[in-house]
Structure 1
């Protein structure tokens, strides 16, 4: 994966109307079918994230309906109310399972100076109570500059992360960790993120950590020589999380079966994978496309995310197949396969997000990418933590066990094509586990209590 590139934002302009379509991707640009925003890519020497397809545009004054989005931009756009219906979350809320008493940790470079205000506006718009965002700065975080494209890129990612986590687990506490060094391809920025995570874990802060960033495994020092120690030295936070029962999630990326090159300006012409998503201590969250009506009811089965990006997935070149994937040997071979499970990520079916960190683009935007999917799933984990009355911890064993019992709320995704991208052939959606969507997605009303029960025995 790339070393922490925030999911990108891009403007879509049709018939004089301008909207912000943010591809919440692991440094993956949106394709030109939605927008061909001016690319901002940085070389490693500049030590900034390669935020391709990033363009600041004026936001909408209010969210539009699905029909209006389709008429203006040829995409569907969804609200948290519709997401809640689609993922069958409402029965949990009615029973009191709202994430209360649980804490979601979100890690982003720089953060956003308006994150609390923006969450308040977002929540009010959709009839939800807001939540207090506790901000923890790690290191000397520079003052926010709305003219700095790297900072605004991360601010967009931060906004997406916070609002998506809150949409699923409305009563969960949110701790936002803002680091001082931007993550790029390779190691840059990751040590700060990992040390911040370990510190919070050691201090008992957080039940689930969501990471919407990643760096291609191939871009780490020593990779070409078969030396994976540079990744190994960064795993200490995840090992610490396992000891403390903290669940760790990461976006699988938006480059399908490929991912960004070291300079952030292109993609490998072969199948690659990215870290931390590829780490066996991390639950890899892939992407799907929802098909909903105005009430949030499904008009078709969830399908593979492959529009303006594609859900990351494939074999790790660093990690061997972990025990929890032994039942999937025919699919993953002898390597760690990603993703493990998936949530909404397609731009065509993206989420409404409100932001005001850029004074020239205040308003409502539509966002997609697996950096949407990971915070969405962090909300699912927070709900399961509450239902279990304890941290569910590393969910891999429980997840793959539940996937064999379809009545447990794991929903297979075998619709759509595959996650091919940028000319690199991906993996097809298939019955059971596949490296396009993992075990599939979830019906929360069934999955959350099932995960809570299974975690007691894992």
Structure 2
């Protein structure tokens, strides 16, 4: 869906008039088809919130309903300038300035201007001045503004003229109009938008709206509706051939199917994907299961759909889609909708190929504006450039499009996405900055690709990381939108000597030194508050007069200094955290060890329990000897005057030997000894943590 321009209304501000005489063929529909009704390709549901709740684009958090800023980031559209910032001619071109987008729809939305204004205010988008185009105004229109958005609404007749009579209201088409206008504007915020409302949804009336757009002059026509194709479609293809005009249409929302007008070889057919983007790194997409597309039953294969296009293969008919964008209602985008007569704004989460189409129209507007900056003509029909100049060059294809290789929209043999072209998403979804640069350049050279990434750091610790880039030639680096103190070197190394707590989104631009093409990537830099060093407390056991040592190891992002307190005389700690006591004295001590971060000054502590006890238990036992088959019994004595309990472990026990306790003795019994030599390992640990062990030989002859 496309967004529209919002802003104030000034009825006295008329579009400049001029007189131009034009002559062209006027296509007409067969009478049996003219009254066929088209369907808007949009799906919507109430937003989960009465007002949009902007989901933080933190790593690992997926957004269910996307804002314009999130969509721009996901598809690498140029960043919008901050409010109040002077906009250069180049930046204005990146926002579609000087271009016109014609939104063709049926019926009337009386709130289109108000809805757009609310949408712009909510998402901090440029406002649009309302321009009145009188029904008697001379056509074509004067050139669009090169530094501001303008929004106009006109009503067409079936013959392609203008009328002062507004069509009737239709709630479904009104929602379609809202999303088309708002998301066209969100994509190309300085482009002029002219909403053309047909008197009804008949193909005859909608064809009249397209004819009116052609008469109004150069621009991009966005059509988010469709009807089943037929043998008649070729008879009206000429309506999509006006000079300096680009035509886009949605492929539909009912899975594998072919519809008009997207089937026309002169129309850029836009399919849909399911978008998954968490604000950092590269977006993830699969083909939306509801997207239209397929092989036409009537239209011949256009020349641009050749075997040279990866994945295209041989086809006897025109195949749609050509390109794609987010369309799944489950990954929808915010749209403001108002009921006639009410000032209440209802926020909808919209989807459908109606959503993807106006955004591609905005992208073409940006490309045309950038081409105008380079003194080049508008793209017109863009198929040849997209298929032949970009998709057939492997490096260029990879940088300008994201090839969608997963998903299906039916059970037919061509209904699954695959590497290269497929009928669900065409060539794929746009990497917008790289695509516009390639369409603007003198050739199909690929712009540098700067993958987005997430970086984390800590306050007080210098941050440094290297930006990656895919480029055919050496690049120069620039950094924008970063925090104070963050810089980038000629080698693409970003440094920040004194990071501050927060999350930042610096934009890194790589410029190809040979072609001048640029690519951008947004890094998510999260600086966490400094943490004190951590120490893990433990218990230490020793014996009187026997030298004791243990290590206190701190976990810290920076070097630390150690200190000790509450320690008995003679106990000390060195710079590595090693605690030593040459001659421990009998007793139990609570010793506090502290570790201080040398950069942040934060300190962590832990209390160690040091127990110095008398000599531990004593094991007394003679060697055990016996004869095969003759029962034996032997006693193992345990003694310790200071202990109150013991834990006894015996290993190396031959099968059949059992043990029992009798006072301070462990009785070993073996009913049927087996010939051999065995070794019992006895370990005794008392309640003070002191232990001893003994090895007792067992010989059976």
Q: Tell me if TM exceeds 0.5.
A: yes
Return the offset for 1:92: 7.9
Pairwise CA RMSD: 3.3
Closer/same/farther in 2, CA of residues 176 and 52 from structure 1, 3 Å limit: closer
Alignment of 1:66-105 (within 5 A): 66=55, 76-91=64-79, 95-96=90-91, 97-105=94-102
Alignment of 1:85-164 (within 5 A): 85-91=73-79, 95-96=90-91, 97-131=94-128, 132-139=150-157, 144-145=168-169, 151-164=170-183
Q: Distance in 2 between matches of 1:412 and 1:252?
A: 19
- Show structure 2 runs of 5+ residues with no match: 3-32, 82-86, 129-149, 158-162, 446-701
Higher share of residues assigned helix: 1
Q: Distance in 1 between matches of 2:41 and 2:386?
A: 34
Determine whether 1:412 maps to 2:402: yes
Closer/same/farther in 2, CA of residues 407 and 385 from structure 1, 3 Å limit: same
Return the offset for 1:403: 1.7
Which of these residues, 255, 264, 277, is aligned with residue 279 of structure 1? 264
- Name the residue aligned to 1:211: 223
**Structure 2 counterpart SS, 1:348:** helix
- Name the residue aligned to 2:237: 235
- Name the residue aligned to 2:291: 311
Return the offset for 1:46: 10
Does structure 2 retain, via aligned residues, the 8 Å contact 1:251–1:371? Answer: yes
Closer/same/farther in 2, CA of residues 49 and 67 from structure 1, 3 Å limit: farther
- Name the residue aligned to 2:300: 320
- Name the residue aligned to 2:210: 197
Closer/same/farther in 2, CA of residues 344 and 330 from structure 1, 3 Å limit: closer
Determine whether 1:256 maps to 2:245: no
Q: Distance in 1 between matches of 2:379 and 2:49?
A: 39
Q: Distance in 2 between matches of 1:431 and 1:279?
A: 24
Q: Distance in 2 between matches of 1:286 and 1:52?
A: 11
**Structure 1 counterpart SS, 2:101:** strand
Does structure 2 retain, via aligned residues, the 8 Å contact 1:315–1:332? Answer: no
Alignment of 1:20-31 (within 5 A): none
Determine whether 1:353 maps to 2:341: no
Does structure 2 retain, via aligned residues, the 8 Å contact 1:255–1:312? Answer: yes
Does structure 2 retain, via aligned residues, the 8 Å contact 1:305–1:345? Answer: yes
Task: Count residues in correspondence.
Answer: 365
- Name the residue aligned to 1:29: none
Deviations 1:385-425 (A, max 9, x none): 000013211110110121233436432333432122xx767
Closer/same/farther in 2, CA of residues 57 and 348 from structure 1, 3 Å limit: closer
- Name the residue aligned to 1:432: 420
Q: Distance in 2 between matches of 1:216 and 1:56?
A: 25
Q: Distance in 2 between matches of 1:177 and 1:397?
A: 28
Does structure 1 retain, via aligned residues, the 8 Å contact 2:43–2:351? Answer: no
Return the offset for 1:355: 1.2
**Structure 2 counterpart SS, 1:323:** coil
- Name the residue aligned to 1:19: none
**Structure 1 counterpart SS, 2:306:** helix
Q: Distance in 2 between matches of 1:444 and 1:330?
A: 23
Closer/same/farther in 2, CA of residues 367 and 87 from structure 1, 3 Å limit: same
- Name the residue aligned to 2:433: 445
Return the offset for 1:254: 1.1
Closer/same/farther in 2, CA of residues 447 and 174 from structure 1, 3 Å limit: same
Closer/same/farther in 2, CA of residues 384 and 235 from structure 1, 3 Å limit: same
TM-score normalised to structure 2 length: 0.48
Deviations 1:130-149 (A, max 9, x none): 2232011013655544xxxx
- Name the residue aligned to 1:366: 349
Does structure 1 retain, via aligned residues, the 8 Å contact 2:272–2:326? Answer: yes
Q: Distance in 2 between matches of 1:172 and 1:283?
A: 19
Deviations 1:270-311 (A, max 9, x none): xxx111111101111111111112xx33565221112xxx11
Closer/same/farther in 2, CA of residues 212 and 430 from structure 1, 3 Å limit: same
Deviations 1:2-47 (A, max 9, x none): xxxx99xxxxxxxxxxxxxxxxxxxxxxxxxxxxxxxxxxxx9997
Q: Distance in 2 between matches of 1:427 and 1:168?
A: 30
- Name the residue aligned to 2:450: none
Closer/same/farther in 2, CA of residues 393 and 59 from structure 1, 3 Å limit: same
Q: Distance in 2 between matches of 1:371 and 1:355?
A: 15
Q: Distance in 2 between matches of 1:278 and 1:115?
A: 29
Does structure 2 retain, via aligned residues, the 8 Å contact 1:287–1:311? Answer: yes
Return the offset for 1:455: 8.9
Higher share of residues assigned strand: 2
Q: Which moved more, 1:53-62 or 1:189-198?
A: 53-62
The structure, 1 or 2, with the larger RCO (C-alpha pairs under 8 Å, 6+ apart) is 1
